[in-house]
Amino acid sequence: MGNITFVEHDGTEHAVEIEPGKSLMDLALDNGIPGIDADCGGECACGTCHVIVEGNGVSITGSASDAELQMLDLTPERADSSRLACQIVISDAMDGMIARLPEFQM
Amino acid sequence: MNIVNLVAKQSAAIVPMPLQVKAAHLLYKTKVKLGVYTEFPEFVEAPVPDVSTLAIEDIDVSNPFLFKQGCWEPYFKRLRDECPVHFQKNSLFGPFWSITRYEDVMFVDKNHELFSSEPFIVIGQAPKELSVEMFIAMDPPKHDVQRQAVQGVVAPQNLKEMEGLIRSRAQEVLDNLPLDKPFNWVDEVSVELTARMLATLLDFPYEERQKLVYWSDLAGGGAQSTGGSNDMDELFKGMGEMAKDFSLLWRKKEAETAAGKKPGFDLISMLQNNDATKNLINTPMEFLGNLALLIVGGNDTTRNSMSGGVLALNKFPDEFAKLKANPSLIPNMVSEIIRWQTPLAHMRRVATQDVEVNGQTIKKGDKVVMWYASANRDERAIDQPDQFIIDRKGARNHLSFGFGVHRCMGNRLAELQLRILWEELLARFDSIEVIGEPEYVQSNFVKGYSKMMVKLTAKQ
């Protein structure tokens, strides 16, 4: 089994064991990662599980859907590899991926 | 385009805005006199019947006295249980669908391509002569452009800078409250604090801040739009004054910037500094609409959550004890207050095509009302929804801010204001006792308080 590392805005790292099939949002919530609000509970409708994926994450997680991009447009901290964690389904291939958290969720 | 509209459009660019509102008012009055428009009837209050005595098709949740008389809960519970997607064909606001369950509201809110926000987001409408345009009532892509121009002002990064200012304003208000003597919490605290915040965000003359409250109440309280008690003449007059004051403020800021002054960090300056909105003043109905939106959006909502929290803790005294023993629960309680109160009861959409929602076929063009107030009490989605539980798990999952592209832009400011208010209240007072029953606003949109007497006891 591999790991995904969440990095808080202040640099604190949390390495979490991969659970294939789960959403990245649920993985963060289940492991008590601070900074993921998940207000809509994974419906791609609030933008409060924003993460910036780095490393191999960019190619493995694929691209955001139109609905997801539209929500990401509402956040001022949007970066090129911004994603909503609720829209990423975890797979074994994501071992070593880094998900950086913004300073604020919108 | 007919000649009247053509002339009106051309004159919009040259005639000063307040005069245009005046002209629109005259046109409206003439059309009423000529019988082109039937005047919208004034609502006369009568006791709301017990919902169990009504046939399902006769239930009309657009009745603006449901909230005022405090009898909305059994109405919406019956719809949620028996007919969650409900059609009322005879209301004074025309036929409309009610969406009452959490899951269905989420579906409608998320799918903006199936459910348009145009032309209005309340159950009724404004007169055509006052059809102001605001981005909350626009669909993408125009909505996105206008929203992006202003959302920075209430973005969390900027709120961080403002926290100290918000706190000192709250302290000023709370330090001057009477002790051991009943006073109206709505006027002295909720209205006053939100007015101070709005004046700050808009860089509006501070000593004239009550005007913002007045305009907000006017814009949100028309009989024809939300079942309120404001009359049309007052609405036109108020919007004329608002047009005048904001035109002046806009021109003043423009002149200051031209003279080399660094633009401030207020909403007007932000609009002037964004390519998409820098000429907003040349489209008066859009100018007025977006300002009204920002004022109403930041006014009724936070105001009524400030009152609602006090009432909730009085109705659930064990929760107040829990709060005093553990003030770190404040942030979670703030979300619970916003859910329990749901200061805006609904948002309206129009179906852009035939669409099935929970077994009912909604036809293209039908009016669809998402009742946030009901969905936030949906037993299917929320455990013990009528209970106020300050350490509720998943308290953030409420619908009061809406979901999707129209999600409340000021949500973080609202949370911040409420958090600071409760931190400062706990530091000062041992008890915050509601005396008697509060009085509620007449509206099917604003779920709020007109009066709530409160007595404070100082902390020992």
Q: What is the CATH number of the domain that holds A57?
A: 3.10.20.30
Q: Which residues in chain B have Cβ-Cβ distances shorter than 8 Å to A102?
A: none
**What range does the domain containing A27 cover?**
3-100
Q: Inspect the interface and report whether the beta carbons of A103 and B405 lie closer than 8 Å.
A: no
* B307 backbone dihedrals φ, ψ, rounded to 5°: -75, -40
Q: What is the DSSP string of B416-437?
A: HHHHHHHHHHHHHEEEEEEEEE
pLDDT confidence bin for B42, thresholds 50/70/90: confident
Query: Which of B106, B155, B394 has its CB closest to that of A76?
Result: B155
Q: Inspect the interface and report whether the beta carbons of A74 and B140 lie closer than 8 Å.
A: no
pLDDT confidence bin for B14, thresholds 50/70/90: low
Per-residue pLDDT, A3:
95
User: Is residue A106 in some structural domain?
Assistant: no
The minimum CA-CA distance between B283 and chain A, rounded to whole Å, is 25
- Tell me the pLDDT tens digit for each residue of B110-166: 999 999 999 999 999 877 766 678 889 899 998 988 888 788 778 887 788 788 989
Which tokens is B55 given?
């046939």
Q: Inspect the interface and report whether the beta carbons of B404 and A45 lie closer than 8 Å.
A: yes
Q: Inspect the interface and report whether the beta carbons of A76 and B397 lie closer than 8 Å.
A: no
Per-residue pLDDT, B270:
81
**Residues of chain A predicted below pLDDT 70:** none
Query: Which of A37, A38, A43 has its CB closest to that of B110?
Result: A43
d(CA B334, CA B213): 23
- In this structure, which long-range contacts are made by residues B70-75, counting pairs with CB atoms below 8 Å and at least 24 apart in sequence? B70/B440, B72/B345, B72/B373, B73/B377, B73/B386, B74/B50, B75/B51
Residue of A84, A51, A42, A39 whose CA lies nearest to B334: A39
CB B342 within 8 A of CB B76: no
- Tell me the pLDDT tens digit for each residue of B248-293: 999 999 999 999 998 877 888 888 888 888 888 888 888 888 888 8
Q: Which residues in chain A have Cβ-Cβ distances shorter than 8 Å to B396?
A: 37-39, 48
d(CA B234, CA B169): 31
CB B25 within 8 A of CB B233: yes
d(CA B325, CA B327): 6
Q: Which residues in chain B have Cβ-Cβ distances shorter than 8 Å to A73?
A: 144, 148
Q: Inspect the interface and report whether the beta carbons of B397 and A71 lie closer than 8 Å.
A: no
More confident of the two residues B330 and B35: B330
Query: Which of A39, A73, A104 has its CB closest to that of B156?
Result: A104
Q: Tell how strand B115-116 and strand B346-351 pair up.
A: antiparallel
Please name the residues between 114 and 143 in chain B that touch chain A, using a CB distance below 8 Å.
140
| Average pLDDT score over chain B | 90
The minimum CA-CA distance between B385 and chain A, rounded to whole Å, is 17
- Amino acid identity for residue B220 in this structure: G
Residue A60: alpha-carbon gap to chain centroid:
13
* Beta-bridge mates of residue B429: B458
Query: Which of A45, A70, A71 has its CB closest to that of B106?
Result: A45
The minimum CA-CA distance between A43 and chain B, rounded to whole Å, is 8
Coil, helix or strand at residue B87: strand
d(CA B383, CA B128): 44
On the question of pLDDT at B221 being above 90, the answer is no
User: Is residue A67 in some structural domain?
Assistant: yes
Q: Inspect the interface and report whether the beta carbons of A76 and B110 lie closer than 8 Å.
A: no
Q: Inspect the interface and report whether the beta carbons of A74 and B403 lie closer than 8 Å.
A: no
The minimum CA-CA distance between B38 and chain A, rounded to whole Å, is 40
On the question of pLDDT at B30 being above 80, the answer is no
On the question of pLDDT at B24 being above 80, the answer is no
d(CA A105, CA A50): 7
Domain architecture of chain B: domains with CATH: 7-56+67-458 (1.10.630.10)
User: Is residue A40 in some structural domain?
Assistant: yes
The minimum CA-CA distance between B408 and chain A, rounded to whole Å, is 9
More confident of the two residues B217 and B399: B399
Which tokens is B348 given?
């309206």
Q: Which residues in chain B have Cβ-Cβ distances shorter than 8 Å to A77?
A: 157
Closest-CA residue of chain B to A69? B405
The minimum CA-CA distance between A96 and chain B, rounded to whole Å, is 30
d(CA B100, CA B31): 37
Q: Which residues in chain A have Cβ-Cβ distances shorter than 8 Å to B109?
A: 45
**What is the rounded average pLDDT of the residues B98-113?**
98
**What is the rounded average pLDDT of the residues B85-101?**
97
d(CA B218, CA B291): 13
Size of interface A-B (CB pairs under 8 A): 54
* Burial of B254 per CB tally in 10 Å (0-12, 13-18, 19+): middle
pLDDT confidence bin for B240, thresholds 50/70/90: confident
Q: Which residues in chain A have Cβ-Cβ distances shorter than 8 Å to B403?
A: 40, 43, 45-46
Q: Distance of CA B47 to CAs B32, B94, B436, Å?
A: 30, 22, 20
Q: Inspect the interface and report whether the beta carbons of A71 and B401 lie closer than 8 Å.
A: no
On the question of pLDDT at B37 being above 70, the answer is no
Closest-CA residue of chain A to B147? A74
d(CA A26, CA A21): 10
On the question of pLDDT at B7 being above 70, the answer is no
Q: Distance of CA B45 to CAs B54, B188, B229, Å?
A: 19, 27, 10
* B295 backbone dihedrals φ, ψ, rounded to 5°: -75, -50
Per-residue pLDDT, B4:
43
The minimum CA-CA distance between B334 and chain A, rounded to whole Å, is 14
Edge-first strand listing for the sheet containing A13-17: A13-17, A3-7, A98-100, A50-54, A82-84
Residue of B306, B94, B349 whose CA lies nearest to B186: B306
Q: Which residues in chain B have Cβ-Cβ distances shorter than 8 Å to A103?
A: 156-157
User: Is residue A105 in some structural domain?
Assistant: no
Query: Which of B152, B156, B403 has its CB closest to that of A40?
Result: B403
- Tell me the pLDDT tens digit for each residue of B426-454: 999 999 999 999 999 999 999 999 999 99
**Percent of chain B beyond pLDDT 90?**
66
The minimum CA-CA distance between A98 and chain B, rounded to whole Å, is 24
- Amino acid identity for residue B226 in this structure: T
On the question of pLDDT at B12 being above 70, the answer is no
Residue of B119, B122, B123, B81 whose CA lies nearest to B100: B81
ipTM rounded to 2 decimals: 0.93
Query: Which of B144, B152, B403 has its CB closest to that of A76?
Result: B152
d(CA A71, CA A34): 21
User: Is residue A62 in some structural domain?
Assistant: yes
Burial letters B216-253, b for 16+ CB under 10 A, else e: bbbbbbbbbbbbbebebeebbebbbbbbebbbebbeeb
Per-residue pLDDT, B410:
93
Choose the most confident range, by mean pLDDT, from A20-34, B13-27, B37-51: A20-34
Q: Inspect the interface and report whether the beta carbons of B412 and A106 lie closer than 8 Å.
A: yes
Q: Distance of CA B223 to CAs B70, B93, B121, B306, Å?
A: 19, 10, 15, 25
- Tell me the pLDDT tens digit for each residue of B170-198: 999 999 999 999 999 999 999 999 999 88
On the question of pLDDT at B3 being above 50, the answer is no
Structural domain count, chain A: 1
CB A8 within 8 A of CB A19: no
According to the 3-state scheme, what is the secondary structure of B313-346? HHHCHHHHHHHHHCHHHHHHHHHHHHHHHCCECE
Residue of B99, B406, B102 whose CA lies nearest to A47: B406
Residue B139: alpha-carbon gap to chain centroid:
19
User: Is residue A34 in some structural domain?
Assistant: yes
Per-residue pLDDT, B346:
97
Q: Inspect the interface and report whether the beta carbons of A46 and B407 lie closer than 8 Å.
A: yes
User: Is residue A58 in some structural domain?
Assistant: yes
d(CA A59, CA B17): 53
**What is the rounded average pLDDT of the residues B63-69?**
97
